[in-house]
Amino acid sequence: MQNETTTIQNTPGSGKVTGGGLRAWRMNWIDNSRYFPLMLLLPVLIFFLLWNIIPLLWMVGMSFYNYSLITGMPPRFIGLRNFFDLYDSYAVWGALGKTFVFVFFAVGIETILGMVLGILFWGSTHLPGRRLALTMLFSPMVLTPAATGTFFRLIYEPTFGIMNYLTTLVFGTKIDFLGDKFWAMPAVLLVDIWMWTPFMILITLAALGSVPRAELEAAEVDRLPWLKRFWYVVLPHAKFILMLGIVLRTIDAFKVMDLIYQLTRGGPGNATEVVGITLFRKAFEGFTMGWSSALAVITLLIAIAFTSIFLYILNLRRRGAQS
């Protein structure tokens, strides 16, 4: 049987491409078209528009209205009154203060522990069982906050929890960790540190992996002390990835809600009521959608301000390193 090859037949004036030439024409259009990358991004842009931009615009618009799902009345435009009510609310200022305290201690302790443990794992590449230890160490990140909260509620349980068993052995008394105003926030912080320190370990390992091996070997040949080796060789290369990890962790800690709600419901009293819990209660228990939208806008602006400050500092250091 004679094989027939289909070729491009582009008759002058006809504007038609036939046979195998159609495939060649498509490939040529993909290579030369400036719209093809936009077509690849189009599904992502549509998803981002539907699930981010439109709800964000709706939230900003709703913050200027008095709207409650309980009364059944239509939204009523009140301008900036919701924002003035937020400014005069002691509960909101208290929740913001507790949120900042939570973010400061959680991110600070997780960063220090993550860097220390990351450096130890980085320097023990030939240690037996290293991969198994890393796998077990990263397992808390896999758990959902709801599951983690339920798990630690049993650990902190004042009657049969293992924490009270240990405190009884050491101090001879039991402590209601989640029911005492003094211990509630440290108990919640401990759970968050247990859950997210592995993330900072992972960031630290990624940052240390970016250090050129030639510079490390040169520092070893010059017999630099360990502290100087870290400060002058490792940190200049690793600080950008470390800063990025701190930014991501700060944003995530600032919007914490589900873990604390599962542990304490914001109690006892309002000892652990952060902004996320206040927003949840007003929106889905009080159904005051206008007031809640205004608080969500304020929270978003604070998160954007945090991110902008971090990125500005990171950009300044990068410019200094390049100069």
**Dihedral pair phi/psi, residue 286, rounded to 5°:** -95, -15
Q: In which domain, by residue range, is 122 found? A: 89-322
Q: Please check whether residues 49 and 93 belong to one and the same domain.
A: no
Q: Please check whether residues 212 and 268 belong to one and the same domain.
A: yes
Q: Please check whether residues 31 and 159 belong to one and the same domain.
A: no
* Other CB atoms within 10 Å distance of the CB of residue 94: 16
- Torsion, Cα 12 14 19 23, to 10 degrees, reads 80
pLDDT at 38 exceeding the cut of 60: yes
Instruction: Tell me the angle at which helices 289-322 and 235-254 cross, rounded to the nearest 10 degrees.
Output: 180
**Dihedral pair phi/psi, residue 90, rounded to 5°:** -65, -35
Among 56-65, 134-143, 279-288, name the one with the lowest average pLDDT.
134-143
The per-residue pLDDT of the chain, averaged, comes to 85
Q: Please check whether residues 158 and 220 belong to one and the same domain.
A: yes
Q: Please check whether residues 118 and 47 belong to one and the same domain.
A: no
Q: Please check whether residues 48 and 149 belong to one and the same domain.
A: no
Among 107-111, 216-220, 237-241, name the one with the lowest average pLDDT.
216-220
- The two structure tokens encoding residue 306: 């945090």
The stretch 7-11 carries a mean pLDDT of 46
Residue 292 located in a structural domain: yes
Q: Output helix, strand, coil percentages for the chain, rounded to the nearest 5.
A: 70, 0, 25
Q: How many domains does the chain have?
A: 2
Q: Exposure string (b/e) for 172-190, b if CB count within 10 Å is 16 or more?
A: eeebbbbeeeebbbebbbb
**Cα separation of 115 and 103, whole Å?**
18
Which has the higher per-residue pLDDT, 303 or 125? Answer: 303
Residue 218 located in a structural domain: yes
**Cα separation of 94 and 274, whole Å?**
8
**Among the listed residues 170, 174, 172, 173, the one whose alpha carbon sits nearest the alpha carbon of residue 161:** 174
**Cα separation of 172 and 68, whole Å?**
51
**Dihedral pair phi/psi, residue 211, rounded to 5°:** -75, 125
Residue 78 located in a structural domain: no
Q: Please check whether residues 131 and 195 belong to one and the same domain.
A: yes
Q: Please check whether residues 263 and 120 belong to one and the same domain.
A: yes
Q: Please check whether residues 53 and 102 belong to one and the same domain.
A: no
C-alpha distances in Å from residue 132, one per residue of 84, 119, 121, 202: 54, 17, 12, 15
* Domain final residue pick, 33, 57, 81: 57
Q: How confident is the model at residue 293 (pLDDT cuts 50, 70, 90)?
A: very high
Which has the higher per-residue pLDDT, 220 or 84? Answer: 84
Helix (H) / strand (E) element for 45: namely helix 36-48
* Domain final residue pick, 35, 57, 79: 57
Q: Please check whether residues 34 and 171 belong to one and the same domain.
A: no
- Per-residue pLDDT tens over the stretch 94-145: 999 999 999 999 999 999 999 999 988 887 777 777 788 888 888 888 888 9
> Would you say 253 and 197 are in contact if contact means Cβ atoms under 8 Å apart?
no
Helix (H) / strand (E) element for 66: namely strand 65-66
Residue 303 located in a structural domain: yes
Residue 198 located in a structural domain: yes
The pTM is what?
0.82
pLDDT at 320 exceeding the cut of 70: no
Residue 307 located in a structural domain: yes
Q: Please check whether residues 157 and 228 belong to one and the same domain.
A: yes
Residue 162 located in a structural domain: yes
User: Which CATH number do you get for residue 288?
Assistant: 1.10.3720.10
Residue 16 located in a structural domain: no
Q: Please check whether residues 41 and 113 belong to one and the same domain.
A: no
C-alpha distances in Å from residue 216, one per residue of 43, 118, 119, 243: 44, 17, 14, 21
Among 15-24, 43-52, 221-230, name the one with the lowest average pLDDT.
15-24
**Cα separation of 79 and 28, whole Å?**
55
The stretch 258-285 carries a mean pLDDT of 92
- Angle at the Cα of 198 (from 192 to 202), degrees rounded to 5? 140
pLDDT at 322 exceeding the cut of 70: no
| Strand-pair partners of 66 | 76
- Per-residue pLDDT tens over the stretch 63-91: 999 998 888 788 999 999 999 999 999 99
